[in-house]
Amino acid sequence: MREAYIVTSVRTPGCRRGKGAFAFTRPEDLLKSALNGLMERTPGVEKKDVEDILVGCAFPEAEQGLNIGRVIAQIAEFPDSTCGATVNRFCASGLEAIALQAMRIMAGYCDVAIGAGLESMSIVPMGGNLPRPHPEQALKSPEVYMSMGMTAENVANRYKITREMQDEWGFHSQAKAAQAQKAGKFKEIVPTEAVRFVEKDGITVKETFIQDFDDGVRPTTIEGLAKLRPAFAAMGSVTAGNSSQTTDGAACSLIMSGEAVKKFGVKPLAKLVVYTTAGCRADEMGVGPAYAIPKALKMAGLKVEDIGLWEVNEAFASQCIYSFQQLGLYEKKELWVSDSDKRIINVNGGAIALGHPLGCTGAKLCAQLTNGMRERGVKYGVESMCIGGGMGAAAVFELCD
């Protein structure tokens, strides 16, 4: 079987739902900026060379519906020959898109493709515009429809993840992200055109501007986090400060076969070694990475100790902490705290600080991970996330020389 290479991987900034820079920017325009940035950063490869665009989206409807994969190919002015499709695995949708394109390349079905992720949570609400759970099934087993926040509370309660542990994790996520912004670490970000509406002379007019940073980073203190009220249960421990931000964003990766890499004379970032998913109880869906990561490592013939960089989505601090406990890494605080130069876990902050734009996240983390591997010279990196409904996904990447 052939190998599949991540040649270039980029993302837009992640901006706060409803209050951030992308609140009035259509999702198609976010992904258009990401795709154009991707191609601009890959000299020698033209849009006509891309055979297919697969877009992951958690709620593929309304402005991000109508098969956004094909629609965006047209909006971004790829030729008619560039096909497109949409895939949904909730929080892993963006990674699923990248993995499916890689598998097509490995199977010999194509040579040049794009895997992407997209979510405008400002424009298309979580749950979609008209959620309709099956009534009898909702009575029989409501867990699959359960609020993600309540599943995070379940994880905290069942596995003794205290409020103090969660707030500490949230504090370091914000601190790492603030440090990374100050140091200019987010080189995978492409400046993105956004819109806003302002009043001039009594008339509301549309303006465009360029957004080039994540606008949800909020450095804080442990004391400040401790003052926040529980968000999902009156006596709970999950708060806005130890949960992921809901955000808007897009990300994409250009994926090639070995033959295409040689043909176009490009130097790839990394190759996808394995991708897998694993199921778990729906009412504690956050523990998914604790199942998916060991499965992926076994498939790759690797151990936890072999991994030099981790990007595990911080949907909630409780589930992230539990997952790293199961890997034997949480107790080694030097691997994840903000004041350690030995950290390898969510090194520039996670979704608590940078946001979790649902269907985009898997593609976003790929951009952060692969570019981070190149910067640090790390041979193996792992990306993982929990998935609503009771799943986890994980992928192992290997740095290219």
Kindly list the catalytic residues.
91, 356, 386
| CA angle, residues 318, 322, 326, in degrees to nearest 5 | 175
Contacts (Cβ under 8 Å, ≥6 apart) of 148: 285, 286, 315, 316, 388
- Nearest Cα to 312, choosing from 273, 271, 343? 343
Measured distance CA(174)–CA(146) in Å, rounded: 27
The SS3 of residue 161 is coil
| Residue that has been written with the tokens 């047209």 in this structure | 74
| Residue that has been written with the tokens 């691997």 in this structure | 335
Measured distance CA(218)–CA(146) in Å, rounded: 28
| Residue that has been written with the tokens 């519906």 in this structure | 65
Compute the 3-state secondary structure of the chain and give helix, strand, coil in percent, each to the nearest 5.
40, 25, 35
Measured distance CA(382)–CA(394) in Å, rounded: 7
**Max Cα separation, the chain?**
66
Distances (CA, A) of 68 to 36, 61, 388: 16, 9, 22
Give the number of other CB atoms < 10 A from CB of residue 26. Answer: 16
CA dihedral 46, 271, 246, 168 (to 10 degrees): -150
Contact 197, 205 (CB under 8 A): yes
- Nearest Cα to 351, choosing from 18, 16, 6, 19? 16
User: Token digits for 90?
Assistant: 């909730």
Determine which helix (DSSP H) or strand (DSSP E) holds 389, and give its type and residue range. none
Strand partners, 274: 396
User: Token digits for 78?
Assistant: 């790829």
